[in-house]
Amino acid sequence: MKVAVVGATGLVGSKMLQVLEERRFPVTQLIPVASERSVGKFVRFGGKRHRVIGMQEAIALRPDLALFSAGGSTSKTWAPAFAEVGTIVVDNSSAWRMEPDKKLVVPEVNAHVLTEHDRIIANPNCSTIQMVVALKPLHDRYRIRRIVVSTYQAVTGTGVKAVQQLMGERRGKNVEQPAYPHPIDLNVLPHIDIFLDNGYTKEEMKMVLETKKIMGDDSIRVTATTVRVPVLGGHSEAVNVEFERNFDLDEVRQLLRQAPGVVLIDDPAHNQYPMPLYAQDKDEVFVGRLRRDESQPNTLNLWVVADNLRKGAATNAIQIAEYLTQRGILKPNAAKPN
């Protein structure tokens, strides 16, 4: 299968290459793609060096699959061009997520919505992905009424410049062109993406709107506060979820143990709970600190952690491609001939 990775030299693009290899996705020809300033560079995949090429050259090769992680404006411009030659595009940006005719997919939650007609598929926001993976089995059983979520998001969610800022500050150096408007080391910033007219950030509203679309339920009420913390890899979330029906904590634990893609770590007596340090380089969503909200009925508190570059981005995109392959929707030489 001919697979293009668009944005192959970035943090998420590099992780996509790693995950493709680890999961043994059937890549027969890798097509690494990046902006003009990166054309001619090389990336490693399958024990070989592969030359990075530009968009037009990649489209001419008519890949079967294109994994995009190159920003919203790039995706808006180029994803349709790939789709026109028959390529299935899985896009990691926010460009297509809320388009009514584009599917927004987390395989453990709503892969069933995908059809052979989908040529551009949206990969959700990293913080949304891990939350809905954890909540889907609980929603199926108890029906969610309202979610209150606060996130603690790693600097890798911003990109290379943010990592350089954090590590530079940690070494006591002044950082030129910092990623954030304030120091991030020994600090937290209640500010992810731009502020909107309603006082929320774009990241917070992504969680609100994407959760409803992925779960297929506009009646779920969601409110979010998203925070950047001085952590390299792994997003954490404190989630307070109100259900329509009462729940039993032992049953909740059992549902989570059986849920695809979820690992339950919930033994506070032995200091066992999810942490980003131990979620790094793993594909699962880790859940713990389960406890009943004693301030109102039918409400649960839980703590959710996942690697934002893997399950929050690269792995979820590749799992979408795996599902399409298993269903026979994505197959070698599927792109239209000249």
Sequence spans of domains, the chain: 2-95+313-326, 127-307
| Complete DSSP assignment for 226-259 | EEE-S-SS-EEEEEEEEESS---HHHHHHHHHHS
- pLDDT (tens place) for every residue of the chain, 338 residues total: 999 999 999 999 999 999 999 999 999 999 999 999 999 999 999 999 999 999 999 999 999 999 999 999 999 999 999 999 999 999 999 999 999 999 999 999 999 999 999 999 999 999 999 999 999 999 999 999 999 999 999 999 999 999 999 999 999 998 889 999 999 999 999 999 999 999 999 999 999 999 999 999 999 999 999 999 999 999 999 999 999 999 999 999 999 999 999 999 999 999 999 999 999 999 999 999 999 999 999 999 999 999 999 999 999 999 999 999 999 999 886 555 44
Active site residue 126: yes
Q: Please give the Cα distance from 30 to 46 (Å, whole number).
A: 9
* Cα–Cα dist 262/255, whole Å: 10
Q: Are 104 and 206 in contact (CB under 8 A)?
A: no
Per the DSSP assignment, residues forming a β-bridge with 102 are none
The residues that bridge with 228 in the sheet, in sequence order, are 153, 189
216 and 112 Cβ atoms separated by less than 8 Å:
no
Q: Estimate to the nearest angstrom the gap between the alpha carbon of 292 and the chain centroid.
A: 28
Do domains 2-95+313-326 and 127-307 share one topology? The answer is no
Question: Could you say which of 3.40.50.720, 3.30.1360.120, 3.90.1420.10, 3.30.70.240 is the CATH number of the domain covering 2-95+313-326?
Answer: 3.40.50.720
Q: What is the pLDDT of residue 204?
A: 98
- What's the rounded Cα separation, in Å, for the pair 20 and 318? 7
What separation in angstroms does the CA of 201 have from each of 150, 182, 191, 223?
13, 16, 7, 11
Question: Regarding beta strands 221-228 and 120-122, do their DSSP bridges make them parallel or antiparallel, or are they unpaired?
Answer: unpaired
What's CA 211's distance to the chain center, in Å?
13
Separation of alpha carbons 182 and 159, rounded Å: 16
139 given a catalytic annotation = no
User: Is the domain 127-307 a CATH 1.20.1250.20 member?
Assistant: no
CA 266 to chain CA mean position, Å: 24
**What was the pLDDT predicted at 332?**
80
Q: What is the structure's pLDDT at 338?
A: 43
What is the CB-side half-sphere exposure of residue 308 using CA atoms within 13 A? Answer: 25
Nearest to 200 by CA among 224, 221, 181: 224
Instruction: Name residue 201's beta-bridge partners.
Output: 195
Residue 105 half-sphere exposure toward CB, CA atoms < 13 A: 26
Position 61, amino acid = L
DSSP 66-96: EEE-S-HHHHHHHHHHHHHTT-EEEE-SSSS
The pTM for the full model equals 0.96
The active-site residue, picked from 50, 117, 235, 270, is 235
Q: What is the pLDDT of residues 15-74, one digit of tens each?
A: 999 999 999 999 999 999 999 999 999 999 999 999 999 999 999 999 999 999 999 999
d(CA 255, CA 143): 14
Scan for tokens 């995109």, then name that residue: 317
Which of 50, 112, 117, 126 is the catalytic position? 126
Q: In what order do the strands lie in the sheet with 65-68?
A: 29-33, 2-6, 65-68, 88-91, 120-122, 103-104
Using alpha carbons, list the distances in angstroms from residue 162 to 154, 236, 279: 9, 18, 20
Half-sphere exposure of 281 (CA within 13 A, CB side): 4
Integer Cα distance of 192 and 182 in angstroms: 12
